[in-house]
Amino acid sequence: MKNSKQIWAPYHALLSQILNEGESRKDRTGTGTLSIFAPASLRFDLAHSFPAYIGRKIALNWALAEGLWFLKGCPDLWLKERGISIWDEWQDPDGKLGRIYGYQWRSWRGAGYEKPTDQIGDLLKTLAKNPYDRRTVVSAWQPAELHLMALPPCHYGFNAYISQPNTPNARLNLCVLIRSSDVVIGLPSNIANYAFITHALARHLGIAAGELVVSITGDAHIYNNLNAAARELLHRADLPPVSESLPQIHFNTDNTVFDAYDWQKDKKDFSVINYFPHPKMELEIAV
């Protein structure tokens, strides 16, 4: 079984590759980046542990809640009402974010359709009916509605795959596709987002979670103001782990229908235990 250093070695290799080989590029925020194109995918065995990054303390509870927000297609203010400010920098004066992520997942509007398409609902029906199906794709990239989004989706879609279907060893695997990734700040949170989503979908289907594959199909970058932070993360990667225990997800409810899950200060239907990261780092996100 892998230890924490082995689990995160590919991520640290990606940081090192960008620092050593990345080209200097301009970007939308004006900050500037070091960037590479379409690096090797990162793979996480969710049956072994929950991939909560240990090189620095991340806002893990917020990442879990954000994953539920995506999955349920909750209104924009759902996060705000729970004290979560992840999206504050991008919302309009009314607190709106437009038709991003969960809206597209749960209410895709296509030409000629009388009512919106629930991609998540259709995915679950397909996997339950035919676990060998190869058309199990959910997309957040709706070209006709990009202008209605506060930010075009960075993680723009995912594929699902059930290994060993119809056996006691059945596992749900997900591959998430990312067009643009802030590798220092954004990527660890996205990994936690989709690890939770994989577990929630698998639990809904009555099978176990398998592997999460994170594929950056486009621009993998480190912002220029985070180069020193990336080097510090590589230094920490060589230090002994804070604990040999590995993070694990725990569901605090017998309910397996994720649409009924909630996340509030006094009611968390899921949490991650055994999370012992290195200290928090003060990082400035580029907006």
Phi/psi for 256 (5° steps) reads -105, 0
Question: For residues 250 and 159, what is the distance between their CA atoms, to the nearest angstrom?
Answer: 24
pLDDT tens for 51-77 read 999 999 999 999 999 999 999 999 888
Residue 287 has pLDDT above 90, yes or no: no
Nearest CA-CA partner of 12 in 268, 202, 252, 237: 237
pTM for this predicted structure: 0.96
What is the CA 208 to chain-centroid distance, rounded?
18
**CA 87-256-63 angle, 5° bins:** 20
Please identify which of the residues 84, 140, 154, 207 carries the catalytic annotation.
154
The CATH homologous superfamily of the domain defined by 4-273 = Thymidylate synthase/dCMP hydroxymethylase domain (3.30.572.10)
With contact defined as beta carbons under 8 Å apart, do 45 and 29 qualify? no
Burial class of 221 by CB neighbour count within 10 A (0 to 12, 13 to 18, 19+) = buried
Tell me the DSSP string of the chain: ---HHHHTHHHHHHHHHHHHHPEEE--TTSS-EEEEES-PPEEEETTT------SS---HHHHHHHHHHHHHT--THHHHHTT--TTGGG--TTS--BS-THHHHHHB--TT-SS-B-HHHHHHHHHHH-TT-S--EEE---GGGGGGBSS--SEEEEEEEEESTTSTT-EEEEEEEEEEEETTTHHHHHHHHHHHHHHHHHHHHTSEEEEEEEEEEEEEEEEGGGHHHHHHHHHHHTSPPS-S---EEEE--S---GGG--EETTEESEEEES--PSPP---PPP-
CB neighbours of residue 179 within 10 Å: 15
Output the average pLDDT for the chain: 95
Average pLDDT over residues 246-272: 94
pLDDT tens for 99-133 read 999 999 999 998 777 899 999 999 999 999 999 99
With contact defined as beta carbons under 8 Å apart, do 165 and 128 qualify? no
Question: For residues 283 and 225, what is the distance between their CA atoms, to the nearest angstrom?
Answer: 9
Q: How confident is the model at residue 204 (pLDDT cuts 50, 70, 90)?
A: very high
Residues in CB range of 146: below 8 A, 6 or more apart:
152
Decide if 74 is catalytic.
no
Average pLDDT over residues 19-28: 96
Q: How confident is the model at residue 1 (pLDDT cuts 50, 70, 90)?
A: confident
